[in-house]
Amino acid sequence: MLINLNVTSSRSMDDVIESGINSIKGQVKEAGISIPCRVRLFEKSTGRLISDDVTDNEGRYEFRNLLKVNFFIVAHHPASQFNAVIQDNVVPK
C-alpha cells in the first residue's frame, strides 16, 4: 500500500499563512490501484489525533484548515492485510 501525497494551497501564500487555512490532500494506492481506506492525521510534536476520515472510492482524501506545523498521516488497509502505512513530516501549504 502506498500513500501518494500532494500538499496544496487553494489561496495565495500570504492568505494561507495568516489565516491558517492550509491543506493536505493525497491518494492511497495498493500496487498502483487506488483503494478506499481509513486515514488519520496526527500532529507530529504531540501525537494528538487531528482528524480521522475515510477516503472516497478512488482513495482520495483531503485535510483542510490546518496550521502550518508538521503532521504524520496513517493509512489503514481496508482488509487489514497489511500494517498501516505512515507518511511522516508532512507540512500543509
Query: Would you write out the chain's pLDDT as a tens digit for each of its 93 residues?
Result: 555 654 443 333 444 344 557 899 999 988 888 999 999 999 999 999 999 999 999 999 999 989 889 999 999 988 877 777 888 889 898
In this structure, what C-alpha cell is assigned to residue 5? Answer: 501525497
Instruction: List 23's β-bridge partners, or say none.
Output: 8
Residue 50's CATH number: 2.60.40.10
CA 59 centroid distance within chain: 11
* DSSP code at position 2: E
Q: Report how many domains make up the chain.
A: 1
Range of the domain at 28: 2-90
